Amino acid sequence: MAAKFQSKKLGAAALALGMTLLGMGALSTEASAMVKISADFFGTGDSDVKDSNGDLNTKAYGLNLDSTYFSLGVKRTDYDFSGVDDFGFDSANTIYGDVHYNGSFSNNLTYSVGLTLGALYESDFDFGDSYALAPRAVLGYKFTNGMTGFLGAYANFNGAENIYLPIIGLKLGDDKDHGWSGSIAYPATRVQYRFNSFWAVDATFLTVRDTFHLDEDNERGDLSDGYIREKSYGMGLGVTLNPLTHFQISTGLFSYFDREFELYNHGGDELGSFETDPAYGAYVRGSLVF
């Protein structure tokens, strides 16, 4: 599951529980008063599973609520394998909640802290095995040119193998500003150019680290009560339209150019992995913003 470090929502598309494309926004250390309700869909075409004669395509559906201090979301992902042996999974579900706070120590020194708690599971919900606990903390420094440099850390504690990632980057402007805005950063970059109040274009780089708990009655005995982790990097190009005051729609194309799945048993021991060729797809998201 991939995540976003934007304090409003880490999350179908971002780091909250991993880092998914549709939830990914610019990294931010500043608060913004708003409520945003979004529904989204993304899907990929077939990509070859390496060292096999099969392929994989993916579809995901999400619903999210974001506000100044908390976020909530659900997502369903369907994995469609064809022409290959059973890899032990064909769907994944995500439920998460996130709390976050942004502040400043001085005119130049800012901070952002957050905590995400979620469950990522195949079909049988068992929070004791499917939990994901993800704290993060970021320090930012505002330069005289209006840019903010930031540095921090992210962790994801789960039933398989914990994840630790640095947060580093440079933020400029606000999404509502005309011209350039966004964050050039790791693990998630999003840069936007807004032409006017009606439309804007953006480019995104993302990191996915989603760990899902598999069902106890999994058809593959070695994966019974085990885990699947997706480790991917991707990039996308999109456009956002604001046809009404409180409504916006975003759509675009993206690619997973490096995609790997790791398989774990119930004890968290890695059993193996497989990779796919680059996967290409598209997404669409409709949002109500207040």
CA neighbor of 169 nearest in space, from 201, 194, 193, 147: 147
Q: What is the pLDDT of residues 118-170, one digit of tens each?
A: 999 999 888 989 999 999 999 999 998 889 999 999 999 999 989 999 999 99
With a pLDDT cut of 90, the percent of the chain lying above it is: 70
Q: Burial code of 125-161, b = ≥16 C-beta within 10 A, e = fewer?
A: eeeebbbbebebebbbebeeeeebebebebebebbbe
- What is the per-residue pLDDT for 220? 78
At residue 221, φ and ψ (nearest 5 deg) are: -60, -35
- What is the per-residue pLDDT for 90? 87
- What is the per-residue pLDDT for 33? 57
**Contact call for residues 184 and 169 (beta carbons, < 8 A):** yes
The residue with tokens 């997973």 is 256
Q: What share of the chain is helix, strand, coil (3-state, %, to 5)?
A: 5, 65, 30
- The low-confidence residues of the chain, meaning pLDDT below 70, are 1-33, 85-86
- What is the per-residue pLDDT for 85? 67
- What is the per-residue pLDDT for 200? 96
Q: Which two tokens stand for residue 119?
A: 């469950």
